[in-house]
Structure 1
Amino acid sequence: MAETEPTEEETPEGLLGWCLVANVAREVVRGEGGLDIQHGTKHFRTGALLWLPPVRWDPGHGRWPAVGRHRGNSRRYVHMIVRADDLENFRVKGVYSEALVRGLNGWDHDPTAPRTLQNPWTRERAQSRADGCNHLSEPLFIEGRKYAHPRISVPNPPPAEIEIEGETLHLARYGTRGAHYSRTPPPAEWIPEIPEP
């Protein structure tokens, strides 16, 4: 099978820069407890390709500026803030379109240099970020705490038991919002005794 991505030494003709991209997830979780499952977001369809410029300002925890074609008008690029949880399949793609450069530059776009990205990704940095985003891990919640543990995540699927700060925690439930652990072990499964004939 031929390699579709260019090597580091060669630069494709017409390439204006590299960018981190992702698709809108097939199922987007909303509502209290993550019980409302939607297809796509308000502004982007399921599977829509979103271009993610490097973050220069913090749009909020778990949020990312994105450029993509809007649900209502697929001809123009729009700039929106999206939730990182609504994205999947992170990877690196080349930028070849001046219209896309205009969208990625936003307010910093220079009309005298329409083919210049103002805040470009390097290919290595974008690939590193894509690898980090694609690593499957889940937030860890401990009973009695409202928010996820700030420094610890668990693999997907999560283990039945985990030890944190010398304390053994037991998996209580696992859902779209992460793994919830309890200090009390689960009840032992009762297996009825079958009398011998």
Structure 2
Amino acid sequence: MTDTGPAEEETPDGLLGWCLVANVARETSRGEGGLEIQHGTKHFRAGTLLWLAPARWDPGSCRRHAVGRHRGNSRRYVNMVVCVGDLENFRVKGVYSAALVRSLNGYDHDPAAPRTLQDPWTRERAQSLADSWNRHREPLFIEGRPYAHPRISVPNPPPAEIQLDGETLHLARYGTRGAHYSRTPPPVEWIPEP
């Protein structure tokens, strides 16, 4: 998804920098096997705009540092580590607020330069990451593992069978948050003879 804002040469008045943003997904999965569906996350309502800062430290697989307005207090920005799988509609947006800059900078914020992003995104780098995360591919879950496979995703709609590490996996179920595969084949449907 491309940003329809002004080009790099046409810097708008008051622009403090570019940032990768996303919305909290309408439905997020929790619990064993991702079977518990909830609206939004514990800290953010569904549809909340989150500003994703460039990674200063590695919060773990498929997780990013984000700044947004908390579910309980919509006036202040909070810093949280969120799962990328709980986000949708990635895009690039301009930063204009000094309060947002302070939250994005975190502990690295310099009070002498309150309107300076310490580790800014370039517009091209943020757009590249947004495009890669917006591709319509579904995460792959394998029964017995609590998280999605880190390197593999499947097209939408997912195939009935896939080969992974020399074994055949069968589609067990397909839901709003990805394709779940099993090592056991599906049961054969019994059809009575006439």
Question: Is TM > 0.5 for Structure 1 vs Structure 2?
Answer: yes
Distance 1:30 1:190, change over 3 A: same
In structure 2, the partner of 1:114 is 114
Q: Provide Cα deviations, 1:23-59, integer angstroms capped at 9, x if missing partner.
A: 1111122222323222222222221111010011011
In structure 2, the partner of 1:180 is 180
In structure 2, the partner of 1:70 is 70
Deviation, 1:61, is 2.0
Contact 1:40 1:46 in 2 (8 A): yes
Identity of aligned residues (%): 81
Give the secondary structure class of the aligned counterpart of 2:151.
Answer: coil
Deviation, 1:192, is 5.5
Deviation, 1:187, is 4.2
Higher relative contact order (CA 8 A, sep 6+): 2
Deviation, 1:72, is 2.3
In structure 2, the partner of 1:48 is 48
**Following the alignment from structure 2 to structure 1, what is the Cα–Cα distance between the partners of residues 47 and 180?**
29
**What TM-score do the two structures reach when normalised by structure 1?**
0.84
Deviation, 1:143, is 5.3
**Following the alignment from structure 1 to structure 2, what is the Cα–Cα distance between the partners of residues 33 and 163?**
21
Contact 1:34 1:176 in 2 (8 A): no
User: Which has the higher Rg, Structure 1 or Structure 2?
Assistant: 1
Contact 2:63 2:83 in 1 (8 A): yes
Alignment map for 1:31-110 (pairs within 5 Å): 31-110=31-110
Contact 2:53 2:104 in 1 (8 A): yes
* Equivalenced residues, count: 192
What is the aligned-residue RMSD (CA, Å)? 2.4
